[in-house]
Amino acid sequence: MPQGYGLLSFDTIDSTMDEARRQAVAGVSGPLWIVANSQTKGRGRRSRAWESGAGNLLCTLLMTPDVSAPEAAKLSFLAALCVGETLDQFLADPLRVRHKWPNDVLLDGRKVAGILLESVTDSGGAMAWLSIGIGINLARHPEGVPQPVTSLRAAGAEAPVPHAALEVLASRFAEWLTRWRKEGFSPVKAAWLARAARMGEAIEVRLDKETLPGIFSALDDSGALVLTLADGTVRLISAGDVFFPQN
């Protein structure tokens, strides 16, 4: 692990996110990487189940960023950058990796990794702790799911052992976090957009009560997706699920 980062490793656990919460409640401030070979209750956004196949990277970073909750939320984009750069280490062509708003990473257009943030603020509104859960399909991927998914192995690359992938991920995260603290969100945003999936193209955003087709025009400084509708109206989307129209 990079200097100053701890590591807690498990064979089987309910979820690394749940362990991060337990560690935080016990007074651990991090930064602490928590990794497991398998999870019995892995989860993604909106409490969706995350299949925890053996040979994949299942980890969470527990930390206490000295920023507001809205600023800390932007770390999902930083985490996506680090996942992409980790995958680059095991692929001959980094152009195969793309970022999908808000927190997925694609390989050859298929989901290969997901990111989940959970946080707690204190009574004064300051960040008490933040956990960043990351799952990367290295050796296997789920079958029979609605969206296209893949793994490094299924994409024709050699699948590293999870701890080798974590070593790269932790190193990239430490470097990007240092830059984020010095320079803010701007370089993170620029790097994320450089590999944004369907930038300038038609997408569909599904919200709780409506579905919006439009053009993915930009990412604003808060991390919201800028969606241009057919009538020219611009909508800022801070939360939703993005789908790509079938050509």
Q: Which helix (H) or strand (E) holds 31?
A: none
Name the residue with higher pLDDT: 9 or 48: 9
pLDDT of residue 243: 92
Report the range of poorest mean pLDDT among 131-135, 144-148, 183-187, 225-229: 144-148
Residue 110 CB neighbour total at 10 angstroms: 15
Q: In degrees rounded to 5, what are phi and psi of residue 240?
A: 170, 175
Structure token pair of residue 30: 């991090």
How big is the CA angle at 138 (ends 205 and 164), to the nearest 5 degrees? Answer: 125
Q: Could you write out the DSSP letters of every residue in 142-177?
A: -SS-SS-B--TTTTTSPPPPHHHHHHHHHHHHHHHH
Average pLDDT on 52-59 reads: 87
Mean residue pLDDT of the chain comes to: 92
Please give the single-letter amino acid code of residue 3: Q
Give pLDDT tens digits for 67-103. Answer: 888 899 999 999 999 999 999 999 988 889 999 999 9
Give the containing element (helix H, strand E) for 52.
none
Beta bridge partners of 241: 206
Half-sphere exposure of 101 (CA within 13 A, CB side): 31
Give the span between the Cα atoms of 236 and 226, in whole angstroms.
5
Question: Would you tell me the crossing angle of helices 186-194 and 75-88 to the nearest 10 degrees?
Answer: 50
Q: What is the set of domains in the chain, with CATH numbers?
A: 6-194 (3.30.930.10), 202-243 (2.30.30.100)
pLDDT digits (tens, 9 = 90+) for 99-152: 999 999 999 999 999 999 999 988 777 889 999 999 999 999 988 777 899 999
